[in-house]
Amino acid sequence: MIKEFEENGYLVFKNFVKDSELQKLRDVATQFHQSWKQDNAQFYAEKAVNSAYLTAKKHLGNKERETLFKFIGSTKLMDVVTSIMGGRPTFMNTQLFFDPANEGQQNYWHRDPQYHMSIEEQKQALLGPKVVHFRIPLVDEPGVELIAGTHKRWDKDDELDVRLERNGRKNYENLSTGKAVKLDAGDLLIFSANMIHRGIYGMDRMSLDILFCDPVAELVKFVDESCLPPSDILDKLENADAFKSAIEIKINNKAMHATSA
């Protein structure tokens, strides 16, 4: 299965999360979403399709945060994460994906790095380091449309024109190379942040994404410290390695900046 991920850039584990645990995650995500929507009413009404930083204190209490930390730091999930990423996977962020409030809003093809990288930097990102989404749909949903192999290869001309809306194309146009992957509640979809993809809206989707990255400072700089577990929760986790890696790199980065200042 790992070979399949390396070739295609994505992988699905069916029925990965059992009903009782899924209900806990659903309850926490719903609580977060209601609070987040109140805080971001205009953005939500106009164009939002996802939110982030679920493990921060702003929208959840300690009990709910601990539920998320224990799931992320579970042996079951971390064994899969390590098998996909190897070495020392590092916690990066959490996101919640939902349907846009604006029913006329179109889904759009993209690579995650395109929002902070030039074309040349996006090409370079295909060589690494890695950022990988681990997505748990909390309800049955239409899923995601992916272009297999694009985590390692650059766009074809029509893919680039659509993704970047060049030559009169729009980023919501269909691409013949796309493959829709339907997801049921409790599945686990793993996919590279570098690959060309788009969410498929509908069915009141609500998906929890956990992002892990390679242990490099250039990626860990995006980790929000408020999203990392405190030491008392860290000690309760079955496998805290991904969080510990993020914390250690953050500390080292600070020490380096302090030395060079």
Is the CB of residue 84 less than 8 Å from the CB of residue 132?
yes
231: phi > 0 → left, psi -120 to 50 → alpha, else beta; which? Answer: alpha
Give me the percent of the chain exceeding a pLDDT of 90.
Answer: 93
Kindly list the distances between the CA atom of residue 52 and the CA atoms of 189, 193, 200, 224, 238, in Å, as whole numbers in the listed order: 18, 15, 19, 10, 24
Domain ranges of the chain: 2-260
pLDDT of residue 6: 95
Q: What is the pLDDT of residues 128-172, one digit of tens each?
A: 999 999 999 999 999 999 999 999 999 999 999 999 999 999 999
pLDDT of residue 92: 98
pLDDT of 254 over the 90 cut: no
- Using CA atoms, how far apart are residues 222 and 208, in angstroms rounded to an integer? 19
Is the CB of residue 205 less than 8 Å from the CB of residue 98?
yes
Give the mean model confidence (pLDDT) for residues 244-259.
82
What global pTM score does this model have? Answer: 0.95
Q: Between these two residues, 170 and 255, which has the higher pLDDT value?
A: 170
Q: What is the pLDDT of residues 66-90, one digit of tens each?
A: 999 999 999 999 999 999 999 899 9
- Using CA atoms, how far apart are residues 220 and 214, in angstroms rounded to an integer? 9
- Using CA atoms, how far apart are residues 85 and 87, in angstroms rounded to an integer? 7
Instruction: Determine the CATH number of domain 2-260.
Output: 2.60.120.620
pLDDT of residue 258: 63
